[in-house]
Structure 1
């Protein structure tokens, strides 16, 4: 066989294999495999975009982990569908003498362009949820390793579930639920991102799992009621400014559906050449089998002050155009 013809045939064959392995559809509630064929372990996580790459950080809940440590995983993607496992970005032993069954939950990572540092925030607690602080770790690489820096109570308040929001102008904010105040705070970060600077708003609603997006000049906030691992009807409110005032909270889906068995984690805005899509990212927790917890991602129906989470259905996503298509 002619060498050029042989090489061309090989390239076509390899291209066919790559295309066959590349997924284009997200299946809410199904096992989501990474590039190694393993169930993605990024629970309670957060996603940031750096250039053309998305990084997904979350709680590593795989079987067989050393129970003396807590782990935060890191995945990388160009299309939000196919994810490459980059390893555990953080492996941390008890940093504050919290005792057995200490807690590290809902990790979120910010990138500080001025200091060229990746700053990870997470809910840090003891087994009885009385420590109620934010933990901070830093790295010079997005995939880590992250090194523990310190913990604190933002604004001097108890902090449990945390969320992150990066506005269109790049300004970073921490969202945190504070049980005694019966609401969740939005706080700006200091210049080095290692602490909070000031309170932007206290949204006086007893909600956790706070997620915020800026869509067409209006802010939308989603939260989950305080029912522990049990799913509940998540709700949303709107405001023209992060500082409020915020509208009354309304259901994002039929209340009897309990957010289709999930809890809000964050919203991701995909700005494409043809459309801007907002994705709702949520966890379907399995507390007795945490390694088998699933993810419910769906494009939201959003605009003009209204927000609706459609019934989960497989969908395709094109991050270049911003378009999605439900595959019933």
Structure 2
């Protein structure tokens, strides 16, 4: 009888652990297929065929303090994520010293070379090195190897974001504290920055861009470090601008519901297009427990708004989302 109860308990635990999620719950623990909280902070997403890949800073406890880690997760529906591996386990690549920094990894795919190209913020502890690093892999979930670092357009770069336009053109968004907020086009091979599309003269980081209908929308957060602030947005008819004045994306007193933007993900289905605000809720003293705030944006005709976070579901095929009752 004891054996039977043990088997039943194991089966119940396994069923619970691998149960398919039917919703996204902003600000809650988000378990992967093994029941572990997803560790993909400051991250970015690309879609290859029918699979989404989410890359981010691996912040789990017990990591080697001399290394920096980037995780990779895969999903077909943006709700259920399977941990692939830590695709970066990097030692100090350029003698930056103790406390060196690898942040905000973003991956692009180059279909001609069939290479996956990762950009990331590379810095020293004092944040004075201010460069982007590049690592390359032959597969989405392979080992990314460090290639080089540089200052895009010769300018200091800290927080970075990524944007891929409807025509497949790839762009790097980077924060330049002295001048503002760059949206720069990458070269065809993705290994360098080709030209500046826009220099938005605003003190913003956490950059995110989406092309929706006939407008470009850009989101950024103020320079307050780990502390959240009211994220803002502007629009333009082209990436070159001119851009409108920046406006709040949520009630300013909420500080963007205690989050910071990292990307906007556009899901185009057979019936609708949903734009997801993808953000981090940082816990600087317990980074492994930092959470994610993902919500569908209200976006149309030059207006963008982040609704109050609530559980919601998404149909990848149709592109329709549904706000759910609070549990």
Normalising by structure 1, we get a TM-score of 0.94
Equivalent residue of 1:48, what SS?
A: strand
Following superposition, the deviation at residue 204 of structure 1 comes to 1.0
Mapped pair 1:107 → 2:105: yes
* 3-state secondary structure, aligned to 1:27: coil
Partner residue in 2 for 1:199: 196
Q: Is the counterpart of residue 74 in structure 1 residue 75 in structure 2?
A: no
- Residue 217 (structure 2) aligns with: 220
Mapped to 2, the partners of 1:318 and 1:18 lie a distance apart of: 22
Aligned counterparts of 1:71 and 1:141: Cα–Cα separation in 2: 17
Instruction: Determine the structure 2 residue equivalent to 1:235.
Output: 232
Match of 1:22 in 2: 20
Q: Tell me if 1:326 matches 2:326.
A: no
RMSD over aligned CA atoms reads 1.5
Aligned equivalent of 2:264 = 267
Question: Aligned pair 1:311/2:308, yes or no?
Answer: yes
How far did 1:19 drift? 11
Contact 2:262/2:279 (<8 A) preserved: yes
Deviation of the 1:24 alpha carbon: 1.1
Equivalent residues of 2:17, 2:35 under 8 A apart? no
What SS does the aligned partner of 1:180 have? Answer: coil
Task: Return the alpha-carbon distance in structure 2 between the equivalents of residues 206 and 83 of structure 1.
Answer: 34
2:60: which partner in 1? Answer: 62
Cα distance in 2 for residues equivalent to 1:143 and 1:20: 21
Post-superposition offset of 1:18: 9.4
Report the alpha carbon displacement of residue 259 of structure 1 after superposing the two structures with TM.
0.1
* 1:50-74 Cα shifts (integer Å, max 9, x gaps): 0000000000000000011000000
Cα distance in 2 for partners of 1:322, 1:163 equals 24
Q: Distance in 2 between matches of 1:191 and 1:236?
A: 28
Instruction: Tell me the equivalent position of 2:85.
Output: 87
TM-fit CA distance, 1:191: 1.8
Instruction: List structure 1 runs of 4+ shifted beyond 6 angstroms.
Output: none
2:17/2:33 contact within 8 Å kept: no
| Structure 1 position 217, deviation (Å) | 1.5
Aligned to 1:209: 206
* 1:47-97 Cα shifts (integer Å, max 9, x gaps): 000000000000000000001100000000000000000000111000010
Q: How many residues align?
A: 314
Provide the residue aligned with 1:280 in structure 2. Answer: 277
**Distance in 2 between residues matched to 1:168 and 1:89, nearest whole Å:** 27
CA apart distance, 1:31: 0.3
**Where does structure 1 lack aligned partners over 5 or more consecutive residues?**
1-12
Measured in 2, the distance between the counterparts of 1:149 and 1:19 equals 39
TM-score normalized with structure 2 length: 0.94
In 1, distance between residues paired with 2:271 and 2:198?
Answer: 34
Matches within 5 A, 1:74-153: 74-153=72-151
Q: Which runs of 5+ in 2 are unaligned?
A: 1-10
Query: Which residue matches 2:252?
Result: 255
Change (3 A) 1:111 1:18: farther
Instruction: Tell me, in whole angstroms, the C-alpha distance in 2 between the residues paired with 1:261 and 1:20.
Output: 30
| Alignment partner, residue 160 of structure 2 | 162
Encode CA deviations 1:214-234: one digit per residue, 9 max, x unaligned.
000200000000000000000
Question: Is 2:288 the partner of 1:291?
Answer: yes
Q: Distance in 1 between matches of 2:318 and 2:189?
A: 34
